[in-house]
Amino acid sequence: MKPVPILGTIVLIGVVCQILLGLQITGAGADYLIGPHILIGVLGLILVIVLAVTALRAKAAKVHSKLVIIILTIVVIIQVGLGFELLQGVESMIMSHEINAFLILLLTVAMGAFTMLSARKSN
């Protein structure tokens, strides 16, 4: 098995879990979920960086795939920064944090689609 599709799937599952946790935290005031949300977010950042390094080193990766993973990595770094701003009480960042989460979901799905199309073309 190739590592990029596996890592991409793990990242996608993590993004969906993060969105659900985040909506639960803001909607129901489930503050006890903040710890797991932070943990998954930081682990997600690490996984995205590993995914980016792996994808950028892959000779078969297309330019648009590399561009998407670079953008995804930057957006995830921004997301973690926004999350830490929220922890410090900057409530005005909630909407930016939520919108950014859906952007991460979109970029993760796009990355998976590009990877799948690239794999089909190479077979």
Look at residue 123 in the predicted model and tell me its pLDDT. 66
Residue 81 corresponds to which amino acid?
Answer: G
Contacts of 2 (CB under 8 A, 6+ apart): 119
Exposed/middle/buried for 112, CB within 10 Å: 0-12, 13-18, 19+?
Answer: middle
Exposed/middle/buried for 104, CB within 10 Å: 0-12, 13-18, 19+?
Answer: buried
Q: From CA 18, how far away is CA 13, in angstroms rounded?
A: 9
Distances (CA, A) of 119 to 35, 66, 85: 37, 15, 39
Look at residue 15 in the predicted model and tell me its pLDDT. 97
Q: Are 72 and 52 in contact (CB under 8 A)?
A: yes
pTM (global) more than 0.85: yes
Look at residue 117 in the predicted model and tell me its pLDDT. 79
Look at residue 29 in the predicted model and tell me its pLDDT. 84
Look at residue 24 in the predicted model and tell me its pLDDT. 94
Look at residue 1 in the predicted model and tell me its pLDDT. 61
Q: Are 48 and 18 in contact (CB under 8 A)?
A: no
Going residue by residue through the chain (123 aa), what tens digit of pLDDT does each one get? 677 778 888 999 999 999 999 999 988 888 899 999 999 999 999 999 998 998 888 887 788 888 999 999 999 999 999 999 999 999 899 999 999 999 999 999 998 888 787 777 776
